[in-house]
Structures are given as C-alpha cells and as structure tokens.
Structure 1
Amino acid sequence: MSSHARNGGIRIAVLGLHLLAFLLLAHGYENSVSVIYASEGFHYTPNDDKWLTALGLTAALSILTPLRSDRASTLFYHLVLCIVLIPMLVLFHAEDQPGEYVAQVAVGYVLSICLRPLMTLGPPAWLRMSPHGLRRAFLAVALLYIAAILAMGGGRYLNFDMTRVYDLRADAAGNLPSFFDYLSPLVSKVVVPTALVLSILHRQVFAALVFALCSVLIFGLTAHKSPLFYPLLVLGVYLASSRKQLALLLGVAVVALLGLSLADFWMARHYDDEVYGWTGKLVMRRVFFLPAQLNFMYYDFFSRNEWVWFSNSKLTLGLANYPYDLPVTHLIGREYFDSESMGANTGWFGSGYMQAGFAGVLLYAAVIAAVFCYVDGCARRSGKQALMTAAVVVPLFALLTSSDLLTAFFTHGLYLNLLVLACLINKEPLHARRPSHQRASSLRYPRLRQAVPQPGSAGI
C-alpha cells in the first residue's frame, strides 16, 4: 500500500473516531449529564436545525487538523479538537448556543493551524544544561520546597485522604506566604513532572521514585489533588508520543473514555451503589463538558459587558483600569453559579474573548501557533519529540482548557517549560566542545588532511 493511500486511510479512521466522539457526547449529554447535573446549568434545550451544522463542523475541523506524528503540536491540536471544540459543538446543538461564537472559535482554531507552518522559532543558544544537571537542580528545588512547607508548620495539615482535601485546602494555603501561590504551580506542574520523565528516560529508577514521592508529599501538604495526576499525565503523553499514528491513538483513547463514562452512568442508574457515577462525572462532565460550558458563559457575559483589555494583568503596567469588582474567574462564578468564591476558569477561547472579543481570540491563536512552532522546532532539533511534548503538556493543557494565556505563561510556568526545552537541546557545555582542528569531518577536502602534517605526528 502506498504512503498516500495509507495516510488517506488513517485520515478516514481519525475522522470516524471524531464523529463517534461527537455522537457519544451528544447521547451522554441528553440522557445523563443534563439529567443528573441540571442544577449546575446543564440544560437540554436542543435546536434540531443545528444538528447537521454541528456534525458538519466536526467533520470539517477534523479534516483540517494535522495528522503528522513527527510534530509535537499534533497532540495539542487534537486535544483542543477533542476536549474543547467537539463538546462545544455538541452544546451548540443540545443547548442552542450562539452560532456566532462557534464560528469565531472555529476561525481562531483554523488560524492557529494555518499560522503554525509559516513561523520559524528556535530556542536561545545561551541556555545550556545537561539532563543530569537539570534533574539534580530540580531535585534540589523540590526538596527545598517541601522542607520550607514543613519548616513553616505545614506538617500539621498533612493529609492523604482525597475526600478531605477541600476541608484542609484553605488552611494549608493560609499557612504559607503569598509568593507560594506562584511557587507551588511551578514546582508541581513543571519541576517534578519534568524531572520524573527525565529520570525514567535515563533509567534512573531511584530518582524516579524520589520524584514520585515528592508528588505525593506535595499533594498531602497542599491539599491539591492535581500534583498526583500531573506526573501520570506527563508520563502518559511521553509514552503515547513515542508511538506512530498519535492522532489515531488519541482518538481511540477519547472514544474509550467516553464509552466508559456512558457505561458508568448506566450502572449508576440501574444499581444503587455509590461507586458508580464517578467516572462519568469526572470524565464526561468535568473534562469534556465543563470547559465547553464555561467558554459559552464567558462569551455570554462579555458579549454584553465591557471587555477586559488585559487590565487584569501587569502587561498594561497599571495604565488600563480593570472594570469589575472581582477577578474575572470569581465574577463568572458569581454571575452563573451564584458563588463569589468559585473560580470559574476557562481556556484559550473564553479568555481570549474576555480580553478583546473576536480580536482577542485571533491574537491568542497567533501566540499559541508561535508556542507550538517553538516546541516543534525544539523537538526536531533534539530528536526527542516524546520528551519535548511531555515537558510542556501540563501548562499547555491548562492554556487550552482552563487558563488565560498570561496566567499559563507566568503562573502555570509555561515560560519555564520553554526554557527547559532549550536547556535539553543545548546540553553540551561550551568548554566540552572539541577544538576545530580535531574535527576531521569539518574539512571540505578530507583527503588533503592525509598530506598535511598533524600535531604530534612523526617528524614534528
């Protein structure tokens, strides 16, 4: 079979998986999510005229999404399509959501795909550190971070019971200085997961166990569940990115998760046991529909109210006045969930619209295309695509699903991940470079080298 025919077959298979994901999500929303979680704003009010449009847009975006397994960005584009766009298209039909915003989101996504090949970005050459040196530095940071929490009395909040995390989280956070609000995400989302993958890559079993233990301790000391799952996410992405036909593999995984969620909802309806229903709640409701729902909430609010124009960040140097009395995430929590304490985070599409409307969505699309280009360039130059993809997946996943662009860069540590990629590429120290006279391969005419007396040869 020719490569063209094989690629065509893969494209058809991936398209079929995306359409199947759409149908599973539509079925799950109508029969489970909107029934169980109607009090949380999931209402089934379908517009049948939008059904074919939603299905057709799913097919079109699937066909436009890159399939190349030799680019790290392929994984991230498919994550956006499967976790954000397809659920939004389901809600476009099932909740009669506005088509104008769906069109803006689709244009922004396609723009990011089109801009990616037109850009050329590479890592700075001055950053140099070997993988072993980077791992040792990260180990020191992780241990000092844990020791600092214990030194400030954080040990009294140590807890490994996941059912008690919400009871202890506020007290554990209040016990720490405010700068830990910025330090903790860097350690839990960048330092520990990246070092864990580096340890596994270099077969440092003891170091991998130490970093895994650090993740558990950070969970126990901060009452945040995510440090337990970030290493698993990074490791899973590393293993998946090591395989060919990544898009096909991801499509199968998404369909399998949705099928498992539907089965779990069915078991919860037919068997009176609290163990059933959790998978559907965490996967179909939390991972797929909640980010999509929040995007529409942001559009609904900021299409009727003033845009933020980056006044909620230091980017404007305080020259722009923030127009609201609460941070945006808590503002949305108050307006749509009747709770000022709720932080309703959204990803690229909602936060881009929040900043500057459709222009904000397009601006964020261009920046994300540049980030993808940079990661692709690092992966190509290093020859270690799986490692490069895994090293940035945590903050990029937050950017795509639950974080503003600037927050992802500076609070979730995306800037640090991008610097780590540069270190992993420029890993040869300057003093370790061989002098030019020792590089026979650098001579244009290697045969002439035999006729030229060499230093240290006989007769010199």
Structure 2
Amino acid sequence: MYNISQTWMQSKKGDLFLIVGFLVFRLFLDISYEKFLYVIYYFDTPINFLYDVDLTRYLCSLLMFVLFTTVLSSRPRDVSNVFLVMATFFLIGPLTSEFGLNAARPIEPVIYTMSALLLVDLVSRMPIPDFISRIPVPKGPLLAVAISAVAVLYLFAWAYFSGALAYFNLDVRKIYTFRDNVAALLDVGALSYLNLWVYKVFTIFLICVCLLNRKFVWLGLLLIAQFFFFGLTSHRIVLFLPFLAIAVWFYLERFEHLTPMPYAAAVGILVALLLFEVRDIESVAEIAIRRAFFVPSGMTFQWFDFFTFHPHVYWADKVLASFSSGEYVGVNIPRLLGGYFVPGADSASNMGLVPAGYAQAGIWGVLLYSVILGLVLSVLNTIVRSGAPLWFVSAMTIGPLRTALADSDLFTTLLSHGLGMAVILLWLYRTRFVAPGVSKQIVPAGNREQE
C-alpha cells in the first residue's frame, strides 16, 4: 500500500512539474511572438502577425492553455498521451499564444481545436478487439521487414530508371528549384503513394527495427539511404524524420517521465531568439519558431476565417468528387487557399486535422475526423498494450501523426502520408514482441521494480 501511495504521489508531482514546464514554454512562445514574429513578419503574407494585447484576453488564453495541460500525464503510458503532448507543443501552445497576443484572432478556432483533441483522446481510450492475437499473420515480422526492404531498394532503382536522379540536389537553398521536375518523373500514378511511403514509413520502420536489435551498422546504411532520398526529393521532412525517430527511441527508452520536454523546448526557443537578437541570425528562429510552431496556428485561423464565409467542401475535392457538383469538384483545396491568401502565387496552404475537418463539413467534419483519428490511436494503444515498446510505436508514427495534426487532411494522411501503412506494419511486426494468443500488458518503466 505504501509503494502504491508513493508511486501515486510521485506521478502527481511529475504532472505538476509538467504543467509548470508547459507554462514556461508558453511564456517563451509569447516572448518569441513579440520579439521575433512581430518584428520580422508583421507585414508577411499569408500570415500577418499583428501584436495587439488586451490583458483580459491574454490572461484568458493562459488559463485555457493551463487547463488543457491538466489532462496530460507526465508518464508516457501510451501513444495517446504522447500524441496529446505533441499536440500541446505544436498546436495548443501556439494557438493560445497567438489568440492572446493578436486581438484580430477569434476564439472559435481555439475552442474547436482544444475540444477536438480532447475528443481524440477520449475515443482513443476505447478498447478494441485484439484481432492479431486471435488470427496471427504467419511470419508477420519477417513479412513487414521484407516489404520495407524491397520498397527501399525499389526507390533506388526507380530513381535511376525514371531519370529523376539527374535532379539530385543537396543544397537546401535550392530545394524548391528541382522539386516539381523530380515529382513529374518520380511520382507517376500510384507510384506517388509508394514513393511517399518509402521515405516516410518503410525506412523509418527499418530504422526502428535496427534500433530495437542494436544493428547500428545497418542503421548507418539506412540513414545514408534517407539522406539520398532527401537529395532526390528536396523535401526537408525526409531528412528530419529519421532523427526524430531516433530522438523518440533515445528518450522513451531511457526516461520514465515527459516532464523535462517543455523545459527543453523553452530553452530551444530561447537559443533561437538569442541567435536572432545577438547575432542577427534569422534562419534558425524562422525554422524553430515561425515554421515549427506559428505557421500551423496562423493557418488554422486563416482556414477558419475562409470557410466561415464560404461554402464547405463536403469532400467534393477528392473522396466524393464523382458524386458532387459545384466549385470544389476535383479542386486542390490547399492550392485554392494558397492562391486566395497570396494572389498570383503558385503555393499551397496546407493544414491539419481540425481546420481541414471544418473546411469539409464544419463542426460535423471536425467531429468525424476526431473520432477517426481517435480510433487509429486506439489501435496503436492496443499494439502497445499487447507488448510492443511504446518508443517503437511512437517513433514509427510520430511523423504521420504530426502531419495529421498540422499539415494535411486526415484521409490524405492515412493514405498518401502513410499513417495507415504504418499501422499495418506495426500490426504485422507486433508478433515479434508477444506469442500468438497471448495478451501482454506493458509495465511502465518506473514500476518495473515492482514486477
């Protein structure tokens, strides 16, 4: 009884420090908004970072943010909690910060987003049948590894035979110069899906397998392969995903608390600000502050504003295009809004779960997307409960989940960006951790001494 009480007290203490850490993180976001975004991007399009503070509004934004953080757990128990922490970093923090510091921003997108994420978390707690234990896939782990390895080798071969290799580029200043040329040669028909899966799912899966089995020579070869794919596609996310997966492995494999994460993020923001203030280095702050945090929040407000005064899409752009009529049939919605926000520019305004759902069907679209994503997380939680390490499942899916959160429509994320394929691979490989017919409950790292 004493050990249970002591563990409970330690958990609550960790939760409190996590909340305080996120408050510190939020305050550093606010400082970066005033000292960097307002200074450099006040007149920038499509997002103008106006700085107009009302004390009551600002305190309200802080209260909403702190209340949201109370649902987080400092212990990384399941994929749902990891996802909610990630959402707090990349969406709730910047959204509430921008709402508190910019009087032109309405409160509705903040309320919709917070409510949607809480619904995702609620649905993800629903248990689902563990079909893989009852109907195991013969040699599932070997099949998952073989599919991934063949897919990686395919992309090397296709890069050569398609002629896309002629546009290979490692200069980050020219990433937009050759991207369209490469896509025209590489992404032919259904191959466009397969290519995305290779460097967003299959290589990341093989990296996780290497980390699990401590095969560091193979890990090095896979990192070289991913570096090649970055030079081939000129997409920065291709370069970042392996290191993000490795960071998840390093942290969750070794630490039983998420408490240090918001403090570390606050320090990162401070370093970026100091480089800008002291050394006049703008590029680091542009990526670490504007692009990582405030572009998704700013575009959330923009999308809500557009579809508050324009008709909703109702999936006429892709899924129901054959059964629809009107202005959105077959239209690329991100490019439509990109042209609307910056007339004449050939750009896309990408957006994630909540604004994309709102664009499709208003509040009903947000509810639908939240329930679907919650069910996906429930599947991932089931895989973890059955024996798969939390770090393995989180590292495999953190890229697609980040995309679903801030960069793409949910259906597009499930298909094109590989979230669905990641779930399938994890489902196949899960039998690597537990014998068929056996359901194993993972014991949190901090409680292993009680086993």
The TM-score normalised by the length of structure 1 is 0.87
Deviations 1:187-241, CA, capped at 9 Å, x for gaps: 1100111111211221223322221121111112222222111111111112222
CA deviation after TM superposition for structure 1 residue 350, in Å: 1.0
For 1:251, which of 248, 255, 262 is the aligned residue?
262
C-alpha distance in 2 between matches for 1:174 and 1:381: 43
CA deviation after TM superposition for structure 1 residue 345, in Å: 0.7
CA RMSD of aligned residues (A): 2.2
Counterpart for residue 209 of structure 1: 220
Residue 154 of structure 1 pairs with residue 158 of structure 2: no
Pick closer, same or farther for the CA change 1:354–1:123 going to 2, 3 Å.
farther
* Larger displacement relative to structure 2 (121-130 or 356-365): 121-130
Residue 173 of structure 1 pairs with residue 183 of structure 2: yes
Unaligned runs of 5+ in 2: 438-451
C-alpha distance in 2 between matches for 1:28 and 1:297: 21
8 Å CA contact 2:316–2:328 kept in 1: the answer is no
8 Å CA contact 1:173–1:222 kept in 2: the answer is yes
Counterpart for residue 63 of structure 1: 70
For 1:192, which of 203, 209, 217 is the aligned residue?
203
C-alpha distance in 2 between matches for 1:215 and 1:280: 25
AA matched with 2:168: L
Deviations 1:68-121, CA, capped at 9 Å, x for gaps: 422122111011011101100011121221112222222222222233323425
Pick closer, same or farther for the CA change 1:23–1:121 going to 2, 3 Å.
farther
Counterpart for residue 124 of structure 2: 116
Give the 3-state SS of the residue equivalent to 1:343 in structure 2.
Answer: coil
Residue 234 of structure 1 pairs with residue 245 of structure 2: yes
CA deviation after TM superposition for structure 1 residue 179, in Å: 3.2
CA deviation after TM superposition for structure 1 residue 258, in Å: 1.6
Counterpart for residue 102 of structure 1: 110
For 2:397, which of 372, 388, 392 is the aligned residue?
392
For 2:380, which of 364, 375, 388 is the aligned residue?
375
* Larger displacement relative to structure 2 (294-303 or 257-266): 257-266
For 1:219, which of 230, 255, 268 is the aligned residue?
230
8 Å CA contact 1:348–1:405 kept in 2: the answer is yes
CA deviation after TM superposition for structure 1 residue 372, in Å: 1.4
For 1:28, which of 20, 27, 32 is the aligned residue?
32
Pick closer, same or farther for the CA change 1:375–1:153 going to 2, 3 Å.
same
AA matched with 1:113: D
Give the 3-state SS of the residue equivalent to 2:429 in structure 1.
Answer: helix
Give the 3-state SS of the residue equivalent to 1:156 in structure 2.
Answer: helix
* Larger displacement relative to structure 2 (233-242 or 130-139): 130-139
Pick closer, same or farther for the CA change 1:212–1:23 going to 2, 3 Å.
same
Pick closer, same or farther for the CA change 1:282–1:113 going to 2, 3 Å.
same
C-alpha distance in 2 between matches for 1:322 and 1:237: 45
* Larger displacement relative to structure 2 (335-344 or 22-31): 335-344
C-alpha distance in 1 between matches for 2:372 and 2:23: 29
For 2:49, which of 42, 51, 58 is the aligned residue?
42
C-alpha distance in 2 between matches for 1:256 and 1:262: 10
* Larger displacement relative to structure 2 (302-311 or 164-173): 164-173
> Which runs of structure 1 show a deviation greater than 4 angstroms over 4 or more consecutive aligned residues?
none
8 Å CA contact 2:80–2:124 kept in 1: the answer is no
For 1:282, which of 270, 287, 294 is the aligned residue?
287
Residue 140 of structure 1 pairs with residue 150 of structure 2: yes
AA matched with 1:189: K
Counterpart for residue 11 of structure 1: 15
* Larger displacement relative to structure 2 (338-347 or 127-136): 127-136
